[in-house]
Chains A and B, each alone.
Chain A
Amino acid sequence: MTPIEPLQLTRKDFVSDQTVRWCPGCGDYAILSQIQKTMPQLGVPKENIVFISGIGCSSRFPYYMDTYGIHSIHGRAPTLATGLKIANPELSVWVITGDGDGLSIGGNHLVHACRRNIDINIILFNNRIYGLTKGQYSPTSPQGFRSKTSPMGTLEQPLNPVSVALASEATFIARTIDVIPKHMGGIFLKADQHKGISFVEVMQNCVIFNPGTWHEYSDRKTRDDHDLYLEDGKPMIFGKNKDKGVIWRRNGLEVVTLGDQYTENDLLVHDVSSIEIAWLLSRLQYPMPLGVILDITKPTYDLGLWHQVEVAKDQKGEGDLETLFNNADTWIVE
């Protein structure tokens, strides 16, 4: 749909009349605010934007956006988003999910939405805890994590959301963090610009049940020495003094200090089109890679399906009921 007049929307146009009911200090506020700020930059008429969520704290999100939205059921948001995008490929469809919603109860749907490369954006808020149900460990909680349901420590290995997306053949994968609004905003915009599935993990803090879970990556004092801001075509440098970097050695990634032994030229250069680099980055915890990890182009499901409609019409002509009804052995009774 071509807008009749240039879009002059602002953040306010995307604020709904509903009171936001997250806990004070919740990381979700910052994410909501950034998404509301990002929306006017999409260049999409407001009526063509849809937010779909499942169940969980993060999933209240659509109520706070003055766009079309569905607060659906636990884990199933990608399925609704898929049906909606097929029905109308012009829509900008956003799935808001969490670590429990997206990787536990809805893990199957996340995997299949990714592999179909349907052109929707999945934003996964990862706070490594079940918040709405009041503090049980989640599929991303670290092994040994103590919670109401794991008083002696969880026995399970955590899932790595980026690795899951990568193994599921996602074509755009990024990670960002709730405490760096500008970074978040930039990632959301790139996610929408990507044609095909966009998967974004947002490291998010639950102030009540898992405060400080990403502390070393989010605290102003420590984060510069723990976060790696990825840029396509640039060497992987990080640290408050830009004195550390990531190199490839002995079948893996290693952190080195720049100086006499290593210079920028020795560092691994990020390439968003490399699935191999994306895989290495997905396994890296120190430093934590933030930014676009993978961005490749493949045919999308939604346009592919409508293309088949066009091809079928070209080959067989517009469907005709009389022909369809009579497409069998027929006989006449007089």
Chain B
Amino acid sequence: MKEEHHAVVKEVDSVVIRFAGDSGDGMQLTGTQFTNTAAIIGNDISTFPDYPAEIRAPAGTIAGVSGFQVHLSDSDIWTPGDSPDVLIAMNPAALKASLPDMEPGATIIVNSDAFTQANLDKAGCETNPLAAGDKTLRDYRVIQAPISSLNRTAVQDIEGLSPKDRDRSRNFFALGLVYWMYDRPIDNTVEWAKKKFAKYPAVVEANIRALQAGYNFGNTTEAFQTRYRIKRAKLPPGTYRKINGNEAVAMGLVTVAKKAGKPLFYGSYPITPASDILHALSPLRNFDVLTFQAEDEIAAMGSTIGAAFGGALAVTGTSGPGIALKSEAMNLALMLELPIVIIDVQRGGPSTGLPTKVEQADLLQVMYGRNGESPMPVLAPSTPAECFDFTLEAFRFALRTMSPVILLTDGYLANSAEPWRIPDPEDIPPIIVEHPTEFNGDGRFLPYKRDPETMGRPWAIAGTPKLEHRLGGLEKSPEFGNVSYVPDHHQQMVNERAEKVARLADVIPEQTVFGPEEGDLLVVGWGSTYGAIHAAVRQAHNKGYSVAHAHIRYLNPFPRNLGDILKRYDRILVPELNMGQLAFILRGTYLLPVIPMDKVKGRPFKISELSEKIEELLAGDAS
């Protein structure tokens, strides 16, 4: 593209950009395209898509606002950023919804065409923030761009384009503008559009023209005095791609199956925010991936039990409401002692709650939400890339214990993306699965004869000659597994099922701590809050506070040294996106006073919220 820069290019360390518009405006796509381009150039990235549960909420309303925030940096970043440096607001509702997150001095680019009285009314704006003399935006650098009309002009003479299609490309106008501002090439997105809309040349043309028009608008408008450039991040060497938590889980599952040389069975019922795992796995039949869209959550769980009895690596994925429905069948899996992985992509609850928003409020449900004594291993990855590693770990645990294992992720991990250093498949150790073919007792097969070390039972699968046996949800006699109501048998079997889970601590890595090994304050977190806590603790640490961070990935059982670590700090702060669930478990387990820090707003922690809390607790303690 030929152009003459009149603007100065400034190098910055990092920037947070938010694209916000109607849920039909293509903001997720716009943000994703920008992120892809940034990632390919070598920036560290972290994204936060934030969209409504309704596919198309009433246009122009606050409820219908869809946002995509991306944080780019030339060094390690931990979160998608507390507040945007640049907001692109496609209508008044998008502006209004984002303003509470904006700090004074930030740049706001608005599609001024959308600020009609009708749209202002729909968004509930009492005044027009763009009107002369209006004070709503006085603290910001506001750039008014008539995006809709400029875009219409740019694409008007393309043949075969309906008026609706013309307006549809306006998000690419905005994208082109932001590409210009951040000195990014548009080529990658142009190539994407050519592939994506190969069957619709008019749409390809519209998208390319919109991109170019947006780019040129930045170049020729006096409003833009400065462009910014972010250097490549210094990540460890390797080949990278962008990955979100759901993609990482899906790839982890395929990897497990491949490494075990077994088919993967994924039985699931569509539910936000877990459905993308099913979407990712369904096209992978050539990996022996058997996806099964069940008639309901219960059937999904039941089908995994059957598949495991048949020798497949069986998995189900769902969210909190699905776990509630699956609980009885999860307990059956626990009683039958079959290896199954259950993925809970948590969302805001209770009930239908906030389907597309993040929350960590299923911890107590997965730990204690079933009838009877029902201990299950629980793992919680803390970053999107870690979702891959912990999917493998969950299967190792399931195979070792012959038990259902819960992998707790959440809507934020599921949808946020970060760079992932692509592993060499050769470096991933094989997963050993053993199925007995011979008797393990005196002339007979004992289905519940346990491995003395792991306490797991033999995984004999249907179809194996001589080892015919029956499993059931009724309590059973040790070793033999026959139905038994003998009092001591029940006690022993309950003990054994607990013991094999407890013994996972033999193979769980010791808990590590970031920061001093002892001190004034330990911040303890789990799951997707990792980035924000880590960044806040670093900041406080750099200011001289005696503060450390422990992030627990193994929630049941805990790492063996966790209790000792907790005792080395004067105070323990536990920030969670729930009303104190891990705090409750830590208190009960270690009899320690912990300070909960709860947030249930459907949004992740901001670094600043955590920093304030840490500094409030340590006020006066800085050395």
Contact = CB atoms under 8 A, between A and B. Distances in A.
Interface of A: 1, 16, 18, 45-48, 50, 52, 62-63, 65-73, 76, 78-88, 90-91, 108-109, 111-112, 305, 308-309, 311-313, 315-319, 321-322, 324-326, 328-334
Interface stretch (B72-80, B234-242, B449-457, B596-604): B234-242
A154 B255 CA distance: 55
B258 A319 contact: yes
B240 A332 contact: yes
B274 to A, nearest CB: 18
Given A62-B470, A70-B336, A79 B299 contact: yes
- Closest CB pairs A-B (n = 7): A79-B302, A87-B310, A83-B306, A319-B287, A71-B472, A83-B303, A84-B306
A324 B254 contact: yes
A38 to B, nearest CB: 17
Contacts of B240: 330-333
Contact of A324 (B39, B287, B308, B462): B287
Interface residues of B, number: 76
A319 B298 contact: no
Interface in B271-314: 284-290, 292, 294-296, 298-312, 314
20 contacts: A47-B462, A68-B309, A70-B336, A80-B303, A82-B299, A84-B310, A84-B462, A86-B303, A91-B462, A91-B463, A112-B294, A309-B290, A312-B284, A324-B251, A324-B284, A324-B287, A329-B241, A331-B241, A332-B239, A333-B232
Nearest to B241: A328
B40 interface: yes
A71 B422 contact: no
A326 B237 contact: no
Contact of A333 (B237, B462, B467): B237
Contacts of B295: 108-109, 111-112
Contacts of B469: 68-69
Nearest to B305: A80
A333 B299 contact: no
B265 A87 contact: yes
A315 B283 CA distance: 12
Interface in B551-602: none
A327 B265 CA distance: 22
Contacts of A317: 286
B329 interface: yes
Contacts of A91: 310, 462-463
Contacts of B36: 329
Given A68-B469, A91-B310, A309-B286, A83 B302 contact: yes
A329 B263 contact: no
B472 A325 contact: no
B286 A312 contact: yes
B242 A112 contact: no
B188 interface: yes
B42 interface: yes
Nearest to A333: B235
